[in-house]
Structure 1
Amino acid sequence: MLDTTEPDVVLVNPRLWPASGLHRAAALASRLVTVDLGIIVDAATPSELRRTKLLRFAAYIDKRHLSARGLNDILTALFARETKFLTAMSTDRPLVPELSGRELDLLELLASGLESREIARRLRIGERTIKMLIGNVLRRLGAENRAHAVAIACELELISGWEIDA
């Protein structure tokens, strides 16, 4: 038989929900009023961290920078009703991923709204190579799609001439 009491702490990965994951996590948090709800992700982004704080989650944890001892410290803090934000910003590893010059060129062209075929023509490489580069950039930035990658690149100031209001 399952225990029907509410837990003290819940950690969720909002990326398990493909669309509006943080908002679904917020809906879960509103149902678990007495529970501290934390977000655990595999690639932290500055915008997601800001949204997590605005939605008043108890924790935001980047799994890439988490050891067993770190998880223990975070859970101890959460059980003590303390807020905990562990991201790459609080470690020695840089939050800004290293992208090649070609990947940065690609981001600039994506920001201008070009399609893969036109980007391939301008960079003088094959369309398949462009698609592979786009996949690499999406993975490295933790982006869901091209527009999300451009937004993250703007936030991280990886591409010039574009600004996003905070």
Structure 2
Amino acid sequence: MIRVLLVDDEAMIRAGVRSILDADADVEVVAEAADGREGVDLTLSRRPDVVLLDIRMPGMNGLDAAAEIKRAAPAVGVVVLTTFGEEEYVARALSEGADGFLLKTGDPRELLLGVRAVAEGGAFLSPKVARRVLQRLDHDRSVDRLKARDKLSQLTGREREVLALLAAGMSNGEIARRLFLVEGTVKGHVSTILTRVGARNRVEAAVMAHEAGLVQGTERREGSD
């Protein structure tokens, strides 16, 4: 069972997201919070597998909450719920260690895929969010397609395969099954990939893979667990 904490100051948004999650028998919403501080406190007391975190909230915002959650409970997955026009916030959330990004107006199926991927130790980027994040990162950090490809050129063929599947939202277990590897081997590849490309976390590596065009044609398996 995947245990989820939902943090958003809008009751209607929480109700909508909860209804989607409740439709999956493998997902349980263990608590809800209306602000970041309450979300941090509930994370520490309930220890969910995944926290779905809004960005703009009164009191402690989602960005500060994400940073505090990752410092205090790094094993808990953090998925940022965002809307268009908040690319600068998403870029900062990335630097705080967020594991996934989803649009509030996106496909409900993406929500479930994202929660599952992050709960299993993977990363998940909504394709639409990824495009906007890439535009922002290109503006703020001048990480263009050529530079991203240059960084990825340091990887072996197998590491590029692992990175492409990671960027498609797969967990280590899913990547291992897809490539017929032991999960520990995949973990080793991921660690090496992060070091070689200079990424701070899986999501940053996934963004770099999207920027380099490595994910084109890579499909995430449906119904995997």
Q: Normalised by the shorter chain, which TM-score bucket?
A: 0.3 to 0.5
TM-score (norm: length of structure 1): 0.46
TM-score, normalization: structure 2?
A: 0.35
* Structure number with bigger Rg: 1
